[in-house]
Amino acid sequence: MITSFKVFMVTVLLIVLLMTAVFFALFNGAVDIGFYDLLGILGGGGNGVERHIILDIRLPRVVMAGIVGGGLATAGAAFQALLKNPLAEPYILGISSGSAVGVILAMISGLASAWLLPLASFTGGFVSILLVYFLGRVGGRLHTTTMLLAGVMVSAFFGAIIMFLLSIASFQELGNAVFWLMGDLSSADNKKVVIAFLYCAAGFLLLYINFRGLNLLTIGEETARHLGIAVERLKVVIFITASLITGISVAFSGLIGFVGLVIPHSARLLFGGDHRLLLPASALLGGSFLIITDTAARTVIAPAEIPVGVITAFVGAPLFIYLLKRKTA
């Protein structure tokens, strides 16, 4: 049984890792800023241009990467418990595709503001949630296998809608939408960071207070019922909360794959399956992972950028194959 001391120590170590990733990301970029200059800027000094680069461009982007990475990893861990499948991830249920449709519609209609993007993403994601939820219910209960198949179908359906919207978009809208679909954190600013943090933090807390139910779900639904868990209500809470975290992440970052799949799987192998530790570990590791991969995306061919989703796929796919082989060996 996991102890509170282990939860505390692992969390502290992962916070240190996250802070290291943040400092590494702030230090690296297309414009060279010295180590002591960076310390001076963070301490309130520095010249105007360098302060603008660090505080108004890099810092919001780095923080947004941490929030989105943590959110996707948390949602992935929740979906894996819900489906009792460590290979599940946020996009498998079609939530991201529905959110993407909402965001692309907002882009095409010129309504892509900091407040309307989450609303558009939430609306698209909520429609996909309803479709998967009602298709996944059999005999008044949510069946995980049926829900998984429904998610694949809904994802394909919304994928077709995305292709249609791209085919009728103008050249400029098409370019923006395609780059965003591959993962893009370049539009992050302080307002978007605050909005994303509030949504994702609330979702994380709601999932975390249900860590015992998540643990019991992974053992079996009948066991959970016998131990006093309202299984159907808990499944709805997990499904909706994890879906909304995914939706807000998609709104501000586009479609970034593998974070919600590889990070919870890695955390489970490193720290075990107790969600009291697995959820914070996944969130902190996911934040660190996306910060580092986004730093690579904006520096490898600087001043040009690579979509961060391309980097996460390059890193995540081999890592996932390694973890899968290690688990089955």
Q: How many residues does the chain have?
A: 329
More confident residue, 15 or 255: 15
Distance CA 111, CA 186 (A): 18
116-136 and 190-208 helices, crossing angle to 10° = 30
Cβ pair 92, 155 in contact under 8 A: yes
* Ramachandran region, residue 262 (left: φ > 0; alpha: ψ -120 to 50; beta: rest): alpha
Cβ pair 203, 246 in contact under 8 A: no
Is the previous residue joined to 60 through a cis bond, with omega within 30 degrees of 0?
A: no
Looking at the predicted structure, is the pLDDT value of residue 142 above 70? Answer: no
For residue 216, give the CATH number of its domain: 1.10.3470.10
**CA geometry: angle at 70 spanning 160 and 189, to 5°?**
80
Looking at the predicted structure, is the pLDDT value of residue 125 above 90? Answer: no
Q: What's the structural domain count of the chain?
A: 1
Residues 6+ apart with CB under 8 A from 82: 88, 144, 217, 235, 238, 239, 242
Full domain range(s) for residue 209 = 4-328
- The CA-atom distances, in angstroms, between 101 and each of 42, 104, 209, 322 are 39, 5, 31, 33
Cβ pair 158, 100 in contact under 8 A: yes
pLDDT tens digits for 24-59?
999 888 887 877 788 888 888 777 888 888 999 999
pLDDT tens digits for 274-302?
999 999 999 999 999 999 999 999 998 87
What local confidence, expressed as pLDDT, does residue 47 receive? Answer: 78
Lowest mean pLDDT among 66-70, 99-103, 117-121: 117-121
DSSP string, 86-134: TT--GGGGTHHHHHHHHHHHHHHTT---TTHHHHHHHHHHHHHHHHHHH
Distance CA 33, CA 50 (A): 7
Cβ atoms within 10 A of the Cβ of 274, count? Answer: 19
Distance CA 40, CA 54 (A): 11
Q: Scan for tokens 């016998």, then name that residue.
A: 226
